[in-house]
Amino acid sequence: MGVDGIEIDARYGLRPSEIVGTALRQIRKLLEDLNLRVASVRYATRRGYECEDELERRIAGTKEAMRMAYDLGANVVVNHCGNIPESIDDPSSAILRSVLTDLGNYSQRVGAFLACETGAEPLERLGAMIDSLPEGSVGITLNPGNLLVNGFDLQSLPQVAKHVMLVHAKDGVRDRSRGRGTEVELGRGMAEFPEIAGTLEEHRFSGYYIVERDNARNPIAEIATSVEFLKNM
């Protein structure tokens, strides 16, 4: 397919506790033989970092995923950061900022950063949260498909592009009658990827585009078509 890198799932694929010593060396050798790099590591949690229930466990798991990402040669860990309140005075906003600051400090030491995935809130709200943190704390994984499916747009991308570390190349269309959109094959939805790529290039984006398909009938063929679409773009 001409793919350069892959994203690894650190919860249900390769777990950080298992990727040490000989296992780590074997995986790195396998990827090297296939001319592949680890572009990013996904560590998806059921709850966000604003929820105090089992919060320390989520923080510890995220830090393990960061360590694994660095060991595998990647510098990006993907997760939704949680529910971002509209008001900065909301108590959960303070919790979220505190946790993201702590993860940011850890990132500086380990060399892999949390990049919060878009889609659960308007893009400008996520950007405002990141702007309120110490510089270099966390980044953004831009997922245009998730934004469209959830009824949001990308108009504020120029304002938050400086924070984008990774793109999940996913497309979608809005469905106003249902109040929720639908994921579609890359290039067939409302996400203007050439325009998105141009905006990111203006802000010196040098990260990966990760093809993501949640409901593909023929995943291998559709991913191959999506890779070709991105390369042609």
pLDDT digits (tens, 9 = 90+) for 134-151: 998 999 999 999 999 999
Q: What is the pTM of this model?
A: 0.94
Question: 77-116: per-residue pLDDT in tens?
Answer: 999 999 999 887 788 999 999 999 999 999 999 999 999 9
Indicate if the pLDDT at residue 178 is higher than 80: no
Indicate if the pLDDT at residue 204 is higher than 80: yes
The reply to whether CATH 3.20.20.150 applies to domain 5-232 is: yes
Res 98: pLDDT: 96
Tell me the CA distances in angstroms from 231 to 4, 45, 184, 199, 225, one per residue in order: 11, 31, 19, 17, 10
Sequence-separated (6 or more) residues with CB below 8 Å from residue 116: 79, 80, 81, 100, 126, 130, 138, 139, 140, 141
Residue 8: pLDDT band (50, 70, 90) is very high
Res 175: pLDDT: 78
Sequence-separated (6 or more) residues with CB below 8 Å from residue 102: 59
Indicate if the pLDDT at residue 177 is higher than 80: no
Facing residues of 42 across strands? 9, 78
Q: Percent of the chain at pLDDT above 70?
A: 99
Res 91: pLDDT: 87
Sequence-separated (6 or more) residues with CB below 8 Å from residue 33: none
Res 215: pLDDT: 81
Tell me the CA distances in angstroms from 153 to 22, 82, 142, 149, one per residue in order: 45, 19, 12, 10
Instruction: Give the pLDDT mean for 145-168.
Output: 95
Indicate if the pLDDT at residue 176 is higher than 80: no
Res 211: pLDDT: 95
Give the residue extent of every domain in the chain.
5-232
Instruction: Give the pLDDT mean for 1-22.
Output: 91
Instruction: Give the pLDDT mean for 5-27.
Output: 92
